[in-house]
Every structure is written in structure tokens, then in C-alpha cells.
Amino acid sequence: MSVLEGIQGPEDVKALSRGELDTLAEEIRTFLVEEVSRTGGHLGPNLGVVELTMAIHRVFDSPRDAVVFDTGHQSYVHKLLTGRHDFSGLRTQGGLSGYPSRSESEHDIVESSHASSSLSWAHGIAAGRAVAGERDRHTVAVIGDGALTGGMAWEAINNIAAERDLPLVIIVNDNERSYAPTRGGLADHLATLRTTRGYERFLDWGKHTLNRTPVVGGAMYETLHGVKKGIKDIVAPQGLFEDLGLKYVGPVDGHDVAALEAALRRARAYGGPVLVHAITQKGRGYDHAMNHVGDQFHAVGVINPETGLPLEISGRSWTDEFSDALVEIGEERDDVVAITAAMMIPVGLEAFSERFPERTFDVGIAEQHATTMAAGLAYAGLHPVVAIYATFLNRAFDQLLMDCALHRAGVTFVLDRSGITGPDGASHHGMWDMSIAGIVPGLRLAAPRDGQQIPVALRAAVDVSDGPTVIRFPKGSVGEAIEAVRTVDGVDILAEPDDGEVDLLLVAVGAMVAPSLTVAEKLGAEGLRVRVVDPVWALPVPDAVVELARSAGRVAVVEDNSVSGGVGTHVSRALCDTGIHAPVDLFGLPRDFLDHGSRGQVLDRVGLTPDAISARLLDVLR
């Protein structure tokens, strides 16, 4: 039996000899490459935290001591060391989650994979246990260096530093990159810590800015983080943390179990908040990951483990269409700039950044700062395009509302991975963006139905200068272009009865257009007359949709957003306000957190498939 096969929990890890620990690390890396190459998942981050996770479970007593991962994609080794060895269904329906999951294990605490939240969780857990008199229980937060670029992490540090006797250990997993290379003043400071051991004078400016003044707002820190000139090379290496009140231990080799154990035991014995700085290598032990310049195989699909090459070759993606369109617009207009939050490659900005480096801004994991910075860029006469995942717009709602919309800033938000994203689960589904956007005054939202419509929507969006615009599209490959039969005041009619008589007006939004056309075919086979329309710009509801509803006996809206507050809700209200009393059936995602699975499996689970939709409509229409 291998060493790994004998690990069913942290106590088994504690019992290993030094030689067995080396063997275990090697076996874990072999296991991860073999298993994740079959299913896809976050490979690089987990290859980098093997020894670190082993050391954590040797020094601390999970679950009595709480271990919080930020972000959760670096928890695969933790799963293995807590007895979860069946990775055959990783990130698939019924299999292991790609993130910590309370339903899987008592060792898992925080399920959300949104970055920069671990220190707030850890502070709350540790403070709660202290109130209960349980000061002998430690709380450990494992935070990736990229997550420290998020303002929420520094709001937490500001408060944790005041808790002098709280048994809390912060482990910074410093691999110089969260997804892509970590950027900004904090990244420079960590780089200094890697190469400098001595103390230098901590300048008054830095001390007053980062220690004595109340820097407690997330957006405020994110802004300071970006202003790296004046911080780089003048902050004493440990000073940034110790002057804030945190004991600093490190840097320590993140692949030396003995050194890590020694550092963590010192931190555990200290009796107050301690920051342990561990230097790791993302993708360690797998040459294809180490040599991959972009992201060290941060996340992979199904690959050949021998070559590192993908086995699933897909066509052009929605992201590809956006990427090409933005570069083309950038060639024509020098006022168009791009912003992202540590996701340059996955949101399709790499080509734009290579062509226009001076017009591209990667602010780190700081969506709040990105959004308000965009408002500032718009005020300065530019048109910013903020490209992020749909799920991460949630984090910047206040800035979208108060900084962009209130100031009528011409900012375009491009939301990749909208709707059901599949294997990443509840925290990554982009199913709330249209509900959020729908309550923002002056905001206009487009949901292109195919790749051909993305450049059309993007060109229209960057021409808007008096308020924010949003373009959303799903993850994956684009299908065939869907041509309109005709267009009525900007609303595309995609299918309709020959005689003009309409039993049902079917309003289809974005990626749900193709399934809706199938619904219309099924209903047509039953003798029902259906008109399918794509509003193109779904919010606010176009007047043409309202007018087309006048001649229909019933209206249905199909979208892959939460049915609560989605486009269907706005269509229903628009009809009511105009005195149209046709019944409106809403088809969308339930107000719930949806587990991981393929997009098709999740849509089937919630009844958002052509068969389920047409069956419901047949019942009411008959």
C-alpha cells in the first residue's frame, strides 16, 4: 500500500516519518497530475501547496483548529489528507467539489471561492471562539498572495492587528501569482521580503498612510495598493506587517516540510496573530505546468498528462469573439481602454494587452477598485471596458451603482461566464448579474445570442457615454449564428407564424435563444402559434417588446439568470405599466445555490431545457 492510501485523516499525516513525508509529497503530485488530467480542474495551485498543506495538518488539529482556504481552489491536497481519495468525479455532478464543501467533510469551512474573504472568516471564527472561552483552539487562514490585492483582506488585517492575544495564524502562500503574476505594491513588497532580511527605516509617509490613519475601506486599500511608487523599496521588509501589529515569520521555504513545521509551531505558540510567509512554486513537480508561462496550468481541462496538451479541442469560444472584437475597436479608437481584476487571460484581454499595453490595466483581485477606477477613466475622457466574470460583478455593486451610474460614467462591463458555468459550482455561476443590473438607473444591458452578435453589441456599448453598459455571455463554445427573420425597432424577430396570429410571444435572452427556438418548434408541432423574439438590449425592456406583446395571448420569458429580479420580472412590470394584461410566464434559474455539474446537467436539474419549458407552456396554453 502506498503512503497516500494509508492517509485517512490528519492523525495519519502526523504519524509519518521524514522519509515517508517525502514519499507522500511525491505520491500526491503524481496523483494530482493523473486524476486532474482526466477531469480537468485547478492543477497548478495544488501542485504548489503539497508540503505546505502537509505541514498545516501536522502542526494544527483540524477540525478542532479551523483551516480556511483563500481561494478554495488550492484545497485538493487538503481533501486528500482528510480522507477524500476518489477524484474520479471531481467537479462533476455527484462527485467531489473543486472547492471546500461542508457537505463533504467536517474539515471544510468556507465554500465560496471568491478571493480575499478568508481573513474576515478567520477573524470571526477566532473571535467567536475567544468569546466562548475557547482560546486553546487556533484558526488558520491560508491566503494566496494574489488574494492580498483585494481590499477586504486589508480591512480584516486592520482589525486582526488590534487583537493582540487572538490565536490566529495567517499563512501567505506566496507563489508570485494568483492566476497570472500578482501585480501592484503588495506584490513588490512580497518580492522584497523574498530577497531582503534586514530592516530599513519605515518612512513617515508609509507609516501614517498604512498604520495610523484609518485605512479601513476595501476600495481605499485597493487604490493604495495600485499606487506602488512611494511604497516600493522604502517600506522595511517586515515593517508593513509588523508596524500594523502582526508578528511576521519568514520567509520560509514552502516546499521544506521541516522548515514549515518549525515556522508554524512558532506561530502557534506565539499566542496572538502571526503572519507566516511561505514561498512556493505554482505547478511544482510537473514540468508542463512549470514551463507554462501564462499561468502554470492554473486550471486545465482534460489533458494528456504526458504532453500537457488538451484532449478536448473545442471551437471558438464566446471569449474569443469578444477578444477579437475589442482589439479591432482598439485599433480604431484610441480612447478605448481595458481593465481586468487578475483575469487577463481567461476574460480574453491578453491580445488587447499585447497590442495596447499602455491602455490595459490589471488591478489584481480588486473588482471594487477596478469599477471606480473605470469611472475615473471615463471622467478623464476615455471609455473603459471592464472585463470580469459575471459572478464577480456581485462584489462591485456599490461602485457600479454609486460611482459609475450615479455619475453617468460611460463604462462598459463585459461579463464572461454568465449564467450556468458548470463545474465550479454555486459561487461561480453568473446567475445574479441581470438582477443586479436591473435595479441600476441608466444602465443598459445586452445579451448577445451568438458570437456574431458580440462585436455588434460591443460597438454599440462603447458608443454610450452617458451611463454604464453591460454585455454578458456564457462560458464555452459559440454555436451557429442565428439570423433574424426581421427586426422591429431594434428587437430581432427570429421565428413567427406565417399568418401573423400569435398564441405566445416567447422572449428569449442571450444564450437561451437557441433552446427557445426548439421550444417554439415543439409547440408548433402541437398546433400553437409562437413568435420568438430576441430583445438584443434586454434592459431596460425595449418598447418594441411591449408592443409585440399586445397581439399575443400570452408571454413567456426565458433567461439563464435568477428568475427573481431577472429580465422576465422587468418584462412583466413593463406590460403592467402599459396596461397589457397578458399572462407572463417566467423561466429562469431558481432563487437557490446550485451545485456543480455540467451546464446541461444543471439546466436539466432546474427545468430549464426545451422539453421542460415546452411541457409547462403546453399545460397553460391548452
Q: CA-based Rg of the chain, rounded to a whole angstrom?
A: 26
583-616 core/surface letters (b: 16 or more CB in 10 A; e: else): ebbbbbbeeeebbbbebebbbeebebbbeebbee
**116 and 152 in contact (C-beta within 8 Å)?**
yes
* Residue 423 host element (H or E): none
Q: Tell me how far apart the alpha carbons of residues 276 and 246 are, in angstroms, rounded to a whole number.
A: 10
Strand, coil or helix: 360: strand
| DSSP single-letter state for residue 569 | H
Q: Tell me how far apart the alpha carbons of residues 589 and 606 are, in angstroms, rounded to a whole number.
A: 7
282 classed as catalytic: yes
From 35, 176, 222, 367, active-site residue = 367
Sequence-ordered list of residues with C-beta below 8 angstroms from that of 509, at least 6 positions apart, any chain: 434, 447, 534, 535, 538, 557, 558, 559, 560, 561, 567
**168 and 139 in contact (C-beta within 8 Å)?**
yes
Closest listed residue to residue 87, CA positions, set 32, 49, 128:
32
Q: How far is CA 322 from CA 327, 413, 445, 478, in A?
A: 9, 12, 16, 11
Cis peptide before 346 (omega within 30 of 0): no
Sequence-ordered list of residues with C-beta below 8 angstroms from that of 29, at least 6 positions apart, any chain: 47, 50, 284, 285, 286
47, three cell numbers: 501542485
Sequence-ordered list of residues with C-beta below 8 angstroms from that of 359, at least 6 positions apart, any chain: 330, 334, 336, 337, 338, 352
Q: Tell me how far apart the alpha carbons of residues 408 and 405 are, in angstroms, rounded to a whole number.
A: 5
Amino acid at position 330, single letter: G
Strand, coil or helix: 277: strand
**DSSP labels for 118-136?**
HHHHHHHHHHHHHHTT-TT
Residue with cell string 478567520? 122
Closest listed residue to residue 378, CA positions, set 436, 331, 323, 337:
337
N-to-C CA span, the chain: 64
Q: Write out the binding residues for Mg(2+).
A: 145, 175
Q: Write out the binding residues.
A: 73, 113-115, 145-147, 175, 286, 367
- How many residues does the structure list for the chain? 622
Closest listed residue to residue 147, CA positions, set 170, 126, 122, 178:
178
Backbone angles phi, psi at 539, to 5 degrees: -130, 135
From 91, 129, 177, 282, active-site residue = 282
367 classed as catalytic: yes
Q: Tell me how far apart the alpha carbons of residues 172 and 280 are, in angstroms, rounded to a whole number.
A: 10
| DSSP single-letter state for residue 140 | E
Q: Tell me how far apart the alpha carbons of residues 218 and 114 are, in angstroms, rounded to a whole number.
A: 15
**243 and 210 in contact (C-beta within 8 Å)?**
yes
312 classed as catalytic: no
From 183, 247, 395, 599, active-site residue = 395
Catalytic residues: 282, 367, 395
